[in-house]
A and B are shown apart, each in its own frame.
Chain A
Amino acid sequence: MTTSIALERTPRVQYLLRIADTCLIHAQRLAEWCGHGPVLEEDIALTNMALDLMGQTRALLTHAGRLDGNAFDEDQLAFLRDERDFFNLTLVEQPMRRSSAHAPGGDFADTVLRNFLLASWLQLLWQQLADSSDAEVAGIAAKALKEARYHQQHAGDWVQRLGDGTEESAARLRAALGRAWPYTQEMFEHDGVDEAAAASGLGPARQALREAWQQAVAEVFAAAGLALPAATPFVSTGTLGRHSEHMGFMLAEMQVLQRTHPGGRW
C-alpha cells in the first residue's frame, strides 16, 4: 500500500488520465485559495469550482481504474502515483498564488485567466465527450458540461472585469496572459493517444478543439480589451508525463497524508 502505483499505458486509459489529472491538479491549485480569496464571494466561487472539478476527477479516475483491470480505486490513483505517471496539462500545475517559498509566482489575475482558458477548453471537451462511444464517459461528461458552462461564464466575467477595469488590473491581466499563453499550445497537441480516441469514438483529438476554443476565448478577450496572442514554438509536455519543476512540490503536499499514513481513512 505504500509503494507507488502506475496504470497500464494503453491509449484508452492514457486519454482518460489526461483529462482526470488536468481536472484534479487544477482543482488542487484552485483550492489553495480557500481562506485567501480577495473577496469572500470569490473565495467561495473558487473552492466551489474546485469541488465540481474534484467530483469529475473522482468519476474519471474510478472509470480509468476499472478499465485498467488492476482494481486501483480513485484514492490510490490520486495519491499513490508518481510525478511521471500524471498526465495533466502543464498549465494547471503552475503556481497560482504567492503563498510560499516553493510557489513563487502568480496573483489573482493568473487565477482568473487560467480558469477561463481552461474552463473554455473543458466545456468544449465535455460537449464532445457527452457523445462518447463509452457510455460511462458520456454520462460523466453530460453532467460535467453543465458545471463547466457555469465556470466558464463566471471566469469570463472576471476576465472582462479585470481587462476593462483599472489600468492596474488590465496590466496585471496582460502580464498573466503572457505567462499562461505558451502553455496553451499543449491543449491542442496531437499524438497516438488522441488518434486512437478519435478513431474509437471515445473522445475528440485535442486539435479538433482549437478553432472553437479560440473563437470562445477571442469573444471574451474582445470585451476585455485583450488581443489573442500569436502561437509560440514552445510546447509543454505534462500530458506525456514530463512536468515542470512545480509538479513535484505540489504532489508532495497533495499526497503527504496518504504516503505517511497508508490507507488512512477519516
Chain B
Amino acid sequence: MSLARAWAALDGVPDPEVPALSVRDLGLVRELIVDGDAIEVFVTPTYSGCPATEVIAQNVHDALAAAGFGPVTVTQRRAPAWTTDWISDEGRRKLHAYGIAPPGAVSNAIHIRPRQVACPRCNSRDTERLSAFGSTACKSLYRCLGCREPFEHFKAL
C-alpha cells in the first residue's frame, strides 16, 4: 500500500528538462525499498553529464517527504546504464504529444546514424536531421519536409 503511494508521488515529479514527462515515465526510478515510513529510492542518470541529475534527486526526495515518508534516502545507481528503452509507452505518448519524436528501440547493434524519424506534428516520414545535438544532451534536431516544421527527436541510447 505504501509502495503504491510512493510510486504515485513519483508520478508527480516532472523531468526538469522535459517537463511533459515524469521521472517515472523516463525510467529514471529503478527501485523503491519501503521500511515503515522510511524509504530508499534508487535513481539513475540519463547522460553522464546531465545537469538535471542533482535537481531530479532533490525533487524525488521532496515529493516522497511531502507524501509522508521519512527518512528519505536517494541513491544514484549508474549500472546497468540507462537506456531509452526504459521510457514507458505512456512516456512515449507524452513525448509525441509534446512535439518531441520519441526514440526507436535500441537494437543490439547500436545505430547512431540518423534514422528515419516520423514528424510528431503531421506524422510524415519524410524528414531530415538538421543537427546531431540539440537543446539538451538527450535530443537531436530534425526538420519535416512535409509540413516544413522543425522538431526535436529524443535520441535512442
A residues apposed to B, CB below 8 Å: 40-41, 44-45, 48-49, 51-56, 58-59, 135-136, 138-140, 142-144, 146-147, 149-150, 153-154
The 7 closest A-B pairs by CB, nearest first: A55-B49, A55-B48, A139-B79, A51-B49, A41-B131, A143-B81, A139-B78
Verify B133–A48 contact, CB threshold 8 A. Answer: yes
B137 contacts partner chain A, Cβ-Cβ < 8 Å: yes
Verify A147–B47 contact, CB threshold 8 A. Answer: yes
Q: Point out the residues of chain A lying under 8 angstroms from B157, CB to CB.
A: 146
Verify B79–A138 contact, CB threshold 8 A. Answer: yes
Q: Point out the residues of chain A lying under 8 angstroms from B112, CB to CB.
A: 149-150, 153
Verify A51–B51 contact, CB threshold 8 A. Answer: yes
Q: Point out the residues of chain B lying under 8 angstroms from A146, CB to CB.
A: 81, 110, 157
B32 contacts partner chain A, Cβ-Cβ < 8 Å: no
Verify A135–B131 contact, CB threshold 8 A. Answer: no
Known A143-B81, A149-B112; contact A41-B130, beta-carbon cutoff 8 A: yes
Verify A56–B110 contact, CB threshold 8 A. Answer: no
Residue of B nearest to A143 (CB): B81
Question: What are some 5 contacts across the A-B interface (CB < 8 A)?
Answer: A48-B133, A138-B79, A139-B78, A147-B48, A153-B112
Select one of A138, A144, A153 contacting B113, CB under 8 A: A153
Q: Point out the residues of chain A lying under 8 angstroms from B47, CB to CB.
A: 51-52, 55, 143, 147
Residue of A nearest to B83 (CB): A146
In the assembled complex, the CB of A31 is this many whole angstroms from the nearest CB of chain B, namely 11
B 139-152 binary contact with A (CB < 8 Å = 1; else 0): 00100000000000
How far, in angstroms, from A213 to B133 measured CA to CA in the complex? 25
Verify B132–A56 contact, CB threshold 8 A. Answer: no
How far, in angstroms, from A138 to B141 measured CA to CA in the complex? 31
Q: Is the interface of A mostly helix, strand, loop or mixed?
A: helix
B residues apposed to A, CB below 8 Å: 45, 47-51, 78-82, 110, 112-113, 130-135, 137, 141, 155, 157
In the assembled complex, the CB of A258 is this many whole angstroms from the nearest CB of chain B, namely 19
How far, in angstroms, from A44 to B152 measured CA to CA in the complex? 14
In the assembled complex, the CB of A37 is this many whole angstroms from the nearest CB of chain B, namely 11
In the assembled complex, the CB of A252 is this many whole angstroms from the nearest CB of chain B, namely 24
Select one of B50, B78, B82, B131 contacting A44, CB under 8 A: B131
Verify B49–A53 contact, CB threshold 8 A. Answer: yes
- New contact pairs (10) apart from A49-B133, A140-B48, CB-CB < 8 Å: A51-B49, A52-B48, A55-B50, A58-B49, A142-B81, A143-B45, A143-B47, A149-B110, A153-B113, A154-B133
In the assembled complex, the CB of A57 is this many whole angstroms from the nearest CB of chain B, namely 9
Q: Point out the residues of chain B lying under 8 angstroms from A143, CB to CB.
A: 45, 47-48, 78-79, 81-82
Q: Point out the residues of chain A lying under 8 angstroms from B79, CB to CB.
A: 135, 138-139, 142-143
Residue of A nearest to B46 (CB): A143
Q: Point out the residues of chain B lying under 8 angstroms from A51, CB to CB.
A: 47, 49, 51, 137
In the assembled complex, the CB of A152 is this many whole angstroms from the nearest CB of chain B, namely 9
In the assembled complex, the CB of A58 is this many whole angstroms from the nearest CB of chain B, namely 8
How far, in angstroms, from A99 to B102 measured CA to CA in the complex? 39
Residue of A nearest to B157 (CB): A146
Residue of A nearest to B53 (CB): A55
How far, in angstroms, from A54 to B47 measured CA to CA in the complex? 11
Select one of A48, A140, A142, A149 contacting B137, CB under 8 A: A48
How far, in angstroms, from A56 to B50 measured CA to CA in the complex? 10
Verify A59–B137 contact, CB threshold 8 A. Answer: no
In the assembled complex, the CB of A145 is this many whole angstroms from the nearest CB of chain B, namely 8
Verify B48–A45 contact, CB threshold 8 A. Answer: no
Verify A45–B81 contact, CB threshold 8 A. Answer: no
Most chain B beta-carbon neighbours within 10 Å: one of A40, A139, A153, A154:
A139
Select one of B48, B81, B113, B131 contacting A56, CB under 8 A: B48
